[in-house]
A and B are shown apart, each in its own frame.
Chain A
Amino acid sequence: MSLTLAGVRHTYAAGTAFATDALAGVDLSFEPGELVLVLGATGSGKSTLLRVAAGLLTPLSGSVEIDGRSVDGPLAVVEPGVGFVFQSPEMQLFAETVEADVRFGPLNQGLTEDEAHHRATRALEAVGLGAEEFGSRSPFTLSGGEARRAAIAGVLAMDPGYLLLDEPTAGLDVEGREAVREIVARSRRRAGVVVVTHDAEEFLGSADRVILLCAGRVTFDGPADELVQSPERFAEAGLKAPEMLLAQMLARDAGLKLARLSLDPAEAALLIARAREGAR
């Protein structure tokens, strides 16, 4: 069981003067139950990677397989295989009520009204928008954070085996970002989750695995903690490391012997305090 990309290459406007290489040979595999964070500078190929994995874009070469089945064309999205949450997905809410919007996906998968309603109710619960309170409201009366969550519910309701999200927290305030982070982290119980973002700090703490993309190539693929312990990998991929890790790198450069690096402020402060004791 996995979502697998093998030897994937893609060039936009291939054969013209505007040809732009987006993916230059990518081999990756995503498993159910894991939360994978994909990081890369703007233009590194992150969004192309997601579109290929969802079957929305057929790459120039290479193959995509879901649980052993070859993906060929956009049908993968309608089948329960892969769910895709686009950037600013709330722009696509369209129905008269939140519940009808979330029900739209399962209905189009051929489920009955009852089954679709049941799916919508569960999906709304999963994103913390109780169907009682929110189901009959117009999507246009929701706050920015609530609308984003309703849009994610619309994808969860189709019960995808793999859930792909492109910048799910961009443009949201503190509260909205935290709610979406929790929903995404919890979703790994029901699907393999792949999150693309340019803000490393948003998901680095909760991800099981991190992939760094640079100019269409994978430059790092490993456990999140391995990346935390070697933050110089960020710069290698043309990315700025999170300030938390930069602070600890600078402390090391200044001569402090930190036992390890941490994303947790309390733990990092403790390790720095200990290193200062040791230096005395």
Chain B
Amino acid sequence: MIEFIDVAYEYRTAGGSVPALRGVSTTLAPGELVTVLGPNGSGKSTLARLANGLLHPSEGRVVVDTIDSTDAARVWDVRSRVGLVFQNPDNQIVATTVEEDVAFGPENLGVERESMHQRVRNALATVGLSGLEQREPHTLSGGQKQRLAIAGALALAPAYLVLDEPTAMLDLQGRADVIDVLGRLRDAGTGIMHITHHLADAAAADRVLVLTGGSVVYDGVPATLLADTRLMQRCGLTLPPVGRLAEELRAAGVDVPPDALTAESVVAAL
């Protein structure tokens, strides 16, 4: 379990300090998919960087499987448990073939050759890139590149995966592919924290965490949030068009559940 215990974080600049998070307490359990939403500047990315000890809290504690993230002797223990994937896959791809790129992490940790091949194969299979081992990464589509970046993190066999807007550069199909991979990883027992601007991504989550101005304004199941229009407004969230269609249909007497945010789930209610 990753525990954030009353966490505050301030960025120090020449002109003073800028608070990014305050009083944040939340958790991420193995096998749980948590979607993190909130406007620009609400502290989402800071939360991601705190999760694996890339940043240390100004106040409070971040604890990963009972290890304090500031414990200097166990930095690598924390980082190998929590994988981090960023927005732009082009900044995270290092090798000249898909296979070498995924192998880069385990190789650097000194993983044995045979078990490394196994890890690379498994990671590529999980993200649906089997068969592309010898391709040059720059010839992949955006969605494939982002799944390659995820495979690179998976090859380190992290217990938790934190993704900071991994679909921002992708088209709708690429986005759907990545969401699908996240669901499968969760089912296999990985704890997933998915930071996104797309409310529609919340429908697939076990829990939704909403940040505004560095504080948690909602932490709970998606259905409760989505059914509460005023809370949504307070969180600066608006339903995607298909969610508004569901709302209109409900008003017309059709029994559509509040967390129906995909075409399939809306039409299933008709």
Whose C-beta in chain A lies nearest to the C-beta of B240? A243
Contact of B139 among A20, A143, A172, A269 (CB under 8 A): A20
Chain A's nearest CB lies how many Å from the CB of B196?
A: 11
Chain A's nearest CB lies how many Å from the CB of B80?
A: 29
A173 at the interface (CB under 8 A from B): yes
B4-12, B108-116, B163-171 - the one binding chain A: B163-171
Chain A's nearest CB lies how many Å from the CB of B93?
A: 14
Chain B's nearest CB lies how many Å from the CB of A11?
A: 14
CA A256 to CA B38, docked complex, whole Å: 37
Contact (Cβ within 8 A) A268 B40: no
Would you give the 0/1 interface string for B256-270, flagging 1 where the beta carbon is closer than 8 Å to chain A? 000001111011001
Number of A-B contacts (CB under 8 A): 115
Contact (Cβ within 8 A) B40 A243: no
Contact A251 B267, CB 8 Å, known A172-B40, A173-B39, A243-B242: yes
Would you give the 0/1 interface string for B30-48, flagging 1 where the beta carbon is closer than 8 Å to chain A? 0000000011110000000
Chain B's nearest CB lies how many Å from the CB of A271?
A: 10
A41 at the interface (CB under 8 A from B): yes
Instruction: Give chain B residues whose Cβ lies under 8 Å from the Cβ of A190.
Output: none
B20-28, B49-57, B98-106, B247-255 - the one binding chain A: B247-255
A246 at the interface (CB under 8 A from B): yes
B229 at the interface (CB under 8 A from A): no
B64-72, B127-135, B172-180 - the one binding chain A: B172-180
Instruction: Give chain A residues whose Cβ lies under 8 Å from the Cβ of B249.
Output: 269, 272-273
Contact of A265 among B170, B172, B241 (CB under 8 A): B241
A170 at the interface (CB under 8 A from B): yes
Contact (Cβ within 8 A) B40 A176: yes
Contact A268 B245, CB 8 Å, known A143-B40, A242-B172, A250-B267: yes
CA A247 to CA B171, docked complex, whole Å: 18
Contact (Cβ within 8 A) A173 B170: no
Contact (Cβ within 8 A) A173 B236: yes
A133 at the interface (CB under 8 A from B): no
Contact of B170 among A42, A249, A250, A269 (CB under 8 A): A42
Contact of A239 among B165, B172, B237, B241 (CB under 8 A): B172
Contact (Cβ within 8 A) A254 B245: no
Chain A's nearest CB lies how many Å from the CB of B232?
A: 10
Contact (Cβ within 8 A) B139 A198: no
Would you give the 0/1 interface string for A230-255, flagging 1 where the beta carbon is closer than 8 Å to chain B? 00000000111111101101110010
Most chain B beta-carbon contacts within 10 A, residue among A42, A144, A251, A272 = A42
Contact (Cβ within 8 A) B172 A247: no
Interface of chain A residues 167 through 213 with chain B (CB within 8 A) = 170-176, 198-201
A263 at the interface (CB under 8 A from B): yes
Contact (Cβ within 8 A) A254 B267: yes
| Besides A173-B38, A240-B172, A247-B267, 11 other A-B contacts (C-beta < 8 A) | A143-B40, A144-B41, A171-B168, A173-B236, A176-B39, A244-B242, A244-B263, A247-B245, A251-B267, A269-B251, A272-B270
* 20 A-B pairs with C-beta separation under 8 A: A18-B136, A41-B173, A143-B40, A145-B40, A173-B38, A173-B40, A174-B197, A176-B39, A198-B170, A198-B171, A199-B171, A254-B267, A265-B247, A266-B244, A269-B249, A269-B252, A270-B248, A272-B249, A272-B270, A273-B252
Interface residues of A (CB under 8 A from B): 18, 20, 41-43, 143-145, 170-176, 198-201, 238-244, 246-247, 249-251, 254, 256, 263, 265-266, 268-270, 272-273, 276
